Structure 1
Amino acid sequence: MCGETFRWSPSRSASGNYNITYCSLACRDRDPARLAHLAAMQAKQQLKRTNKVETAGYALLDSLGITYERQIPFNGKFTPDATISSARLIVQFDGDYWHDRKGTSTEARIRRRVALDRSQDAYIRTCGWQVVRLWESDLKNNPEGCTEKVRQHLRPPS
């Protein structure tokens, strides 16, 4: 993409499992075609129906009377459920099954999802933002606790 010369290990190139296009993540993130692809994915995300967990989460945020945005890309990398820019806060609404509330799943796809969640949280914090994850069962059974959890992150640190 950037014209720099780079070389991947023979095992990665020979396997045919990798499309060697970029020399670095920075190079990848400057690719106009990739940025267009991310924008298209975000537009598609906006068209999908809101699931029950998101509906409950958005209702909670609405009850707080705060300004937030739904499903907007964060630094062009991924799309969190809610972004509260004024508080530099990301709010994610996690389904108990898909995000492994019990922490006992042995399914590869669920374990990948949990690893991605952790990676995204680390990236958000590295960017100087906070992240709050609200569980499906808590939104359903303990909305007051979820409300307080969000409120705590809206307050300036003392």
Structure 2
Amino acid sequence: MVDRARSLRREATEAERALWRLLSRYRPSFTRQLVIDRYIVDLACRAAKLAVEFDGGQHHEQVAYDAERTAVLEGLGWKVIRLWNSDVLANPEGAAEYILSEAAECLGGTHPQPLPSREGRVRRPRFG
């Protein structure tokens, strides 16, 4: 399974690449093509136990398989969200924002990327 996950990482879809460019710098970190039980998840945040699946046209025919897969992953404590490739490509920033908000919710409402502590702060002289 690990070898298959590695090959899927090398052969990522355009939607996966677009979101990876946006999400790879955030914390908690995300992982591509993570092996969970007998499945390989497209994108995952281990800390939040959030699994993200990117669905293309082939998923219209495998609804039962996707439902079973989601049930197994949720039984293991993972939250599964699905995004259509076409939606991700049409609005990658919106998809990234949605994934980050879901990760924050899974972590109990914490912000997935800490806010800068001194941004916009004007420094006053100490003496004088």
- The unaligned stretches of length 5 or more in structure 2 are 110-128
* TM-score, L = length of structure 1: 0.57
- Which 5+ residue runs of structure 1 have no aligned equivalent? 1-38, 101-109
Residues 15 and 85 in structure 2, CA contact (< 8 A), matched pair in contact too: yes
Q: How does 1:1-158 map to 2 (within 5 A)?
A: 39=1, 42-48=2-8, 49-62=11-24, 64-75=26-37, 77-95=38-56, 97-100=57-60, 110=61, 113-155=62-104, 156-157=107-108
Shift of 1:157: 4.0
Identity %: 30
| Alpha carbons of structure 1 residues 154 and 79: separation in structure 2 relative to 1, 3 Å | same
Question: Superposition RMSD on alpha carbons, in Å?
Answer: 2.0
Contact 1:130 1:153 in 2 (8 A): no
CA contact (8 A) 1:53 1:94 kept: no
What is the one-letter code of the residue matched to 2:21?
A: A
State the TM-score, normalized to the length of structure 2.
0.69
- How many Å apart are 1:72 and its aligned residue? 2.3
What one-letter code is carried by the residue in structure 2 that aligns with 1:83?
A: A
Which is helix-richer, 1 or 2? 1
Letter aligned with residue 47 of structure 1: S
Say which structure, 1 or 2, has more relative contact order (CA 8 Å, 6+ apart).
2
The CA deviation at 1:88 is 0.7
Higher strand share: 2
Summarize deviations over 1:33-71 as a string: whole Å, max 9, x none.
Answer: xxxxxx3xx303412522222212322322545412221
